Amino acid sequence: MNSRRTFIGKAALFAASALLGKPVYLNRYNSSKALPLPSLKGRKILFTYGGWPGHEPDKFKDYMVPWLESEDATVVSSSNLEPYADADFMKEIDLVIQCITMSSITAEQEQGLLAAIKAGTGMAGWHGGMCDSFRNNPEYQYMTGGQWVAHPGGILDYSVQISQHTDAVTDGLNDFKIKSEQYYMHIDPNVKVLATTKFNGNADSWIDGCVMPVAWKKTYGKGRVFYSALGHSLQHLADTPAALTIIKRGIHWASASKHEATENWVNPVYGL
Ligand SMILES: [Zn+2]
């Protein structure tokens, strides 16, 4: 009886909506709509920082940790990689954010990090802090989805094109210009590319016209992995609000692997 009443109620609602010419329910599961970004409230985040000082690991820690805490996340920050090797600790972590350039990682630390991500801990980072961290560790690079190899021309003006307008990380953002390093990377084709940039041939003539992913999401085991190549310095991001927005939204997305289902996609970059 109850279910029949509910059905009749819904039918009446639909009929009324047809009269008004408006849909009753927003179709939030429509694949053409961005899924909502998860909240950071209650998330346990490990923020690791260090390596080459030119990428401002301390400054980024001083900016990012208070922001994460303002989003009601619990943050443990570490200037070394020892937490990665602590399996009991890593089991409790929802998300690792790493800002460590041109450093080294022990086999035990690498295994600990990768095991945690395979089991569902998320990973997020930007620029060299995540994708130029450990040049001698291909399994780590298999997890990140890319490795920096060059930034032809150094710091220059270039533009970033948003490739995904129905993904919550880049939803509503327009293409933008930035003055920073333009990363040339070796990239796993099995990532979902969120934004790209096109190289000119001013510095290296043979890459003229090359379209390069700038931000992506992927999975490694059960863990969500997010990366943006933008972020040589905190000031470059402060000068380019869209670039900072992409990183913050990517952090939100990557934090939820243990808490909600992840999209299942295979989206080769050369399918763009
Ligand atoms: Zn840099």
Ligand 1 centroid to residue 231 C-alpha, Å: 7
Ligand 1 centroid to residue 269 C-alpha, Å: 23
- pLDDT, residue 27, reads 30
- pLDDT, residue 35, reads 75
Ligand 1 centroid to residue 250 C-alpha, Å: 19
Ligand 1 centroid to residue 101 C-alpha, Å: 9
CATH number assigned to the domain comprising residue 152: 3.40.50.880
Q: Is residue 32 part of a domain?
A: no
Ligand 1 centroid to residue 134 C-alpha, Å: 15
Instruction: Using the predicted structure, report yes or no on whether residue 2 has a pLDDT greater than 60.
Output: no
Q: Is residue 34 part of a domain?
A: no
Q: Give the mean model confidence (pLDDT) for residues 254-265.
A: 91
Ligand 1 centroid to residue 223 C-alpha, Å: 26
Q: Is residue 103 part of a domain?
A: yes
Which domain, by its residues, includes 196?
Answer: 44-271
Q: What is the DSSP letter of 72?
A: T
Do the beta carbons of residue 25 and residue 17 sit within 8 Å? Answer: no
Instruction: Using the predicted structure, report yes or no on whether residue 171 has a pLDDT greater than 90.
Output: yes
Q: Which of 89-103, 170-184, 234-248, 252-266 has the lowest mean pLDDT?
A: 252-266
Ligand 1 centroid to residue 242 C-alpha, Å: 18
Q: Is residue 108 part of a domain?
A: yes
Ligand 1 centroid to residue 145 C-alpha, Å: 18
Q: Is residue 229 part of a domain?
A: yes
Amino acid letter for position 173: L
Ligand 1 centroid to residue 232 C-alpha, Å: 4
Q: Which of 4-13, 121-130, 131-140 has the lowest mean pLDDT?
A: 4-13
Q: Is residue 156 part of a domain?
A: yes
Ligand 1 centroid to residue 8 C-alpha, Å: 62
Ligand 1 centroid to residue 23 C-alpha, Å: 49
Ligand 1 centroid to residue 52 C-alpha, Å: 10
Ligand 1 centroid to residue 98 C-alpha, Å: 15
Ligand 1 centroid to residue 230 C-alpha, Å: 9
Ligand 1 centroid to residue 117 C-alpha, Å: 25
Instruction: Using the predicted structure, report yes or no on whether residue 23 has a pLDDT greater than 70.
Output: no
Amino acid letter for position 152: P
Ligand 1 centroid to residue 188 C-alpha, Å: 20
Ligand 1 centroid to residue 228 C-alpha, Å: 12
Is the pTM higher than 0.85? yes
Rg of the chain over all Cα atoms, to the nearest angstrom: 21
How many separate helices (H) and strands (E) can be counted in the chain? Answer: 8, 11
Instruction: Using the predicted structure, report yes or no on whether residue 165 has a pLDDT greater than 80.
Output: yes
Q: Is residue 249 part of a domain?
A: yes
Work out how many domains the chain is built from and give that number: 1
Q: Is residue 30 part of a domain?
A: no
**CA–CA distance, 155 with 235 (Å, rounded to integer):** 13
Do the beta carbons of residue 97 and residue 48 sit within 8 Å? Answer: yes
Q: Is 91 helix (H, G, I), strand (E, B) or coil?
A: helix
Ligand 1 centroid to residue 155 C-alpha, Å: 9
Query: In angstroms, what CA-CA distances link 235 with 85, 205, 226, 229?
Result: 33, 29, 21, 15
Ligand 1 centroid to residue 12 C-alpha, Å: 60
